[in-house]
């Protein structure tokens, strides 16, 4: 008995020794910044040196700030575009590339995934050239394809900023999300598909009642990943619109407004309050994801 007790003590110490680096890094780089940002959100600052405690005024100011609501509306529109255009297209591509009758599937996968290999800053610079009036590749191509009906002066970056952002993201992330769906499709039990076909189920019924339930956990994960990533949109509109929100703030997102408030205006307290509003929104979505995953597991 005594030997057993002695042998258990070193293992407990070893657990704490292995956990200590992670716990220390979490305290320094996660817990401490979170506490500091919560304190900062209740202060009004004029640069890092001047602070005044204002309680919850930064949050009430954000609630009454029309620019904040414009940024939030733009971010939600972009998120909805990602969910209802980008993900269905990614699933359709995955279904097409999962077909054994399609030749050269590896090549198609590389083509669709390759935009993801480029950095967002490079993509933004490239997109700014592609969506230009007159000489831009998009207007030139549409002008040629429609036999001159499409105007070369179509103002993508002046009057249709959000649509442009959604189109660029479509090009960037469709292949990325397709990989998730493709991996899920390759794990679907083919015996069930063949059995349903023998029972007379057509293609739609096989997809609806066999394939879709099998890939639903991965689909839930991809949806939440896209929502969280879309709500944190920053680099693409920031570079594309040269650090501004574009005409009438059409391309201003919540994170861009946070950056402008904190690093251009100098009010780090207000920027922290905006960050906490976004963090609470993301935490709510994470809770929804956990609830959906648990529901799927029952």
pTM: 0.84
pLDDT at residue number 47: 66
If one counts every other C-beta atom within 10 angstroms of the C-beta of residue 256, the result is 24
Share of the chain above pLDDT 70, in %: 95
3-class DSSP state for residue 201? coil
pLDDT confidence of 166, banded at 50, 70, 90? very high
Residue 64, pLDDT > 70, answer: yes
pLDDT confidence of 103, banded at 50, 70, 90? confident
Residue 293, pLDDT > 80, answer: no
Residue 241, pLDDT > 70, answer: yes
Highest mean pLDDT: which range of 5-19, 35-49, 174-188: 174-188
Residue 2, pLDDT > 90, answer: no
Task: Give tens-digit pLDDT for 155-165.
Answer: 998 889 999 99
pLDDT at residue number 295: 75
How far apart (Å, rounded) are the C-alpha atoms in residues 72 and 243?
17
Alpha helices, DSSP H only, in the chain? 2-26, 32-40, 57-63, 66-81, 87-97, 105-113, 120-130, 137-145, 156-159, 161-185, 190-198, 203-206, 212-231, 235-240, 254-259, 268-297
Determine the average pLDDT of the residues in 35-44. Answer: 90
Task: Give tens-digit pLDDT for 202-227.
Answer: 888 888 888 998 898 888 889 888 98
Determine the average pLDDT of the residues in 168-181. Answer: 91
Residue 39, pLDDT > 60, answer: yes
How far apart (Å, rounded) are the C-alpha atoms in residues 215 and 221?
10
Residue 94 in contact with residue 178, Cβ under 8 Å?
yes
Residue given tokens 């995934």 in the structure block:
113
Determine the average pLDDT of the residues in 16-26. Answer: 90
Pairing, β 51-53 against β 43-45: antiparallel
pLDDT confidence of 1, banded at 50, 70, 90? very low
Spatial CB neighbours of 29, under 8 Å, sequence gap ≥ 6: none
**Rounded mean pLDDT of the chain?**
87
How far apart (Å, rounded) are the C-alpha atoms in residues 196 and 296?
22
pLDDT confidence of 178, banded at 50, 70, 90? very high
- Which value, to the nearest 10 degrees, does the dihedral of the CA atoms of residues 282, 117, 176, 108 take? 170
Share of the chain above pLDDT 90, in %: 38
Backbone conformation region of residue 148, classed left if phi is above 0, alpha if psi is from -120 to 50, else beta = left
């Amino acid at each position: 008995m005594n030997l057993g007790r002695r042998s258990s003590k070193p293992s407990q110490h070893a657990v704490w020794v292995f956990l200590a680096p992670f716990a220390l890094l979490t305290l320094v780089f996660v817990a401490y910044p979170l506490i500091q940002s919560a304190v900062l959100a209740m202060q009004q600052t004029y640069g890092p040196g001047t602070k005044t405690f204002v309680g919850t005024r930064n949050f009430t100011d954000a609630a009454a700030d029309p620019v904040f609501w414009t940024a939030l509306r733009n971010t939600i529109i972009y998120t909805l575009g990602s969910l209802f255009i980008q993900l269905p297209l990614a699933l359709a591509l995955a279904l097409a590339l999962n077909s054994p009758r399609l030749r050269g599937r590896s090549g198609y996968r590389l083509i669709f995934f390759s935009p993801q290999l480029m950095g967002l800053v490079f993509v933004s610079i490239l997109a700014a050239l592609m969506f230009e009036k007159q000489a831009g590749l998009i207007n030139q191509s549409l002008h040629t394809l429609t036999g001159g009906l499409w105007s070369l002066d179509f103002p993508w970056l002046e009057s249709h900023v959000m649509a442009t952002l959604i189109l660029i993201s479509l090009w960037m992330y469709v292949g990325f999300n397709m990989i998730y769906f493709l991996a899920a499709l390759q794990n679907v039990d083919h015996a069930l598909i063949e059995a349903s076909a023998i029972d007379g189920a057509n293609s739609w019924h096989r997809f609806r009642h066999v394939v879709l339930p099998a890939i639903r956990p991965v689909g839930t994960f991809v949806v939440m990943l896209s929502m969280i990533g879309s709500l944190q949109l920053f680099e693409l509109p920031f570079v594309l619109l040269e650090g501004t929100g574009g005409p009438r703030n059409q391309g201003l997102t919540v994170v861009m407004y946070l950056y402008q408030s904190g690093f251009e205006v100098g009010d780090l307290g207000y920027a922290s309050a905006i960050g906490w509003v976004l963090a609470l929104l993301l935490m709510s979505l994470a809770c929804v994801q956990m609830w959906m995953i648990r529901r799927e597991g029952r």
